[in-house]
Amino acid sequence: MKQVNRVVIAGAGIGGLCAALALAKRDIQVVVCEQAVSLGEVGAGLQMSPNAMKVLRELGLEAELSAFAFVPQNAAIRHYKTGEYYLKSPLAEQAEVRYGAPYWHLHRADLHQVLAQACSQAGVELVLNSTVDSYREDKALNQVCVSLDGGREIWGDLLIGADGIRSKVREQMLGKERPTFMGQVAWRGVIPVSDLTVNVKPDACVWAGPGRHFVSYYLRGGDYVNFVAVEERSDWLSESWREEGDIAELKRVFADWHPEVSQLIACAKSTFLWALNGRDELPTWHQGRVVLLGDACHPMLPFMAQGAAMAIEDAYVLAENLARHECHAALVEYEQIRKPRATKVQQMSKANAGLYHMQGGVFGKAKLRALQAAGRFVPNVIQSKLDAVYGHDVTQG
């Protein structure tokens, strides 16, 4: 019989809200504490692969999200100058048939809004302008007391740290430690199609080049194009992990790239610049009546487009285990299920950085050529490499 009846969640991002909704649907009371004054997400796109869509479907969100979705036709890797295809793997209907759920592109703000509305309808309490500063456990009461920055305290049977890579919950649990700068920065932006002067193919496309790559795909039914431009850098001098980007610098860095890239960037009016950070594998994801989720325990480079998907999977597995087991057993099983998978996807994402950036000179380019040859001569070879990621279904576990 479950022992967790009231949960406090630090962070109202995608992972935190998914956990809140999944718990509320299992008749567990939820309070979500969010440091922002109002709910909202910085404008950027998300690739929702079938493994994530299976969870969103189980949470009852697929129909509502469909109004905001764009269905890409292919996953592609192209040469940064010539536009030659190293890989072109079908998505759309073929992905849904192969994996049992669609592959969608969604605007982060749209997914966030739908999740927030669903949480409100499910009775989740959302406390804004409230940062979780610390916590303490009362073993006699089998509860955890969460202290907010304004002096308020909230009690619950469990605290979930879904407060991102700079998680204060993780810091108290495992000690203060700065995230590791991964030697790369990413410009991100969204452009209305009405502003474009170039035709962008309806694919999830990676343009691979020496020391950098560029990603483009449509959002909101094809009304917008999302881009992510990644460049290797030796350091990050800014105190902030995210800041407004310099469009002129972005244009300069990708000036000699294929016209579909350079002309797309020329249409951008604004961009944000992110430092891509990571962490070493944590020794544990839980301690007492406190547990971590998403970027708080397994931040990853975005080169498998699985960051949000892994947090969504975490949320479902954690809620399911808390509904089935007493607290300690639920947290142990959650980590046993999720940690190997999240760690593997982290490793795959890191490996893709080398592929996309042609690292290793001639050898790096040879790897892309081998990928190209495999796609031509071995049917479904690319899909088979992704089966373990996209075909996974935590709702059937």
CA dist 11 and 131 (Å) reads 8
Amino acid at 314: D
217 given a catalytic annotation: yes
Please list the residues that pair with 185 across neighbouring strands: 231, 275
The number of beta carbons lying within 10 Å of the beta carbon of residue 34 is: 24
CA dist 80 and 56 (Å) reads 34
CA dist 310 and 292 (Å) reads 13
- DSSP-derived pairing of the beta strands 29-33 and 6-10: parallel
From the candidates 80, 99, 103, 217, which is the catalytic residue?
217
Q: Which residue do the tokens 């202290």 mark?
A: 147
Distances 336 to 167, 169, 340, 342 between C-alpha atoms, Å: 21, 20, 7, 11
Residue environment code for 208-247, b if the CB has 16+ CB neighbours within 10 A, otherwise e: bbeebbbbbbbbbeeebbbbbbbbbbeebeeeebeeebeb
Q: What is the side-by-side order of every strand in the sheet holding 290-292?
A: 125-127, 29-33, 6-10, 158-161, 290-292, 286-287
CA dist 364 and 22 (Å) reads 43
- Residues with active-site annotation: 217
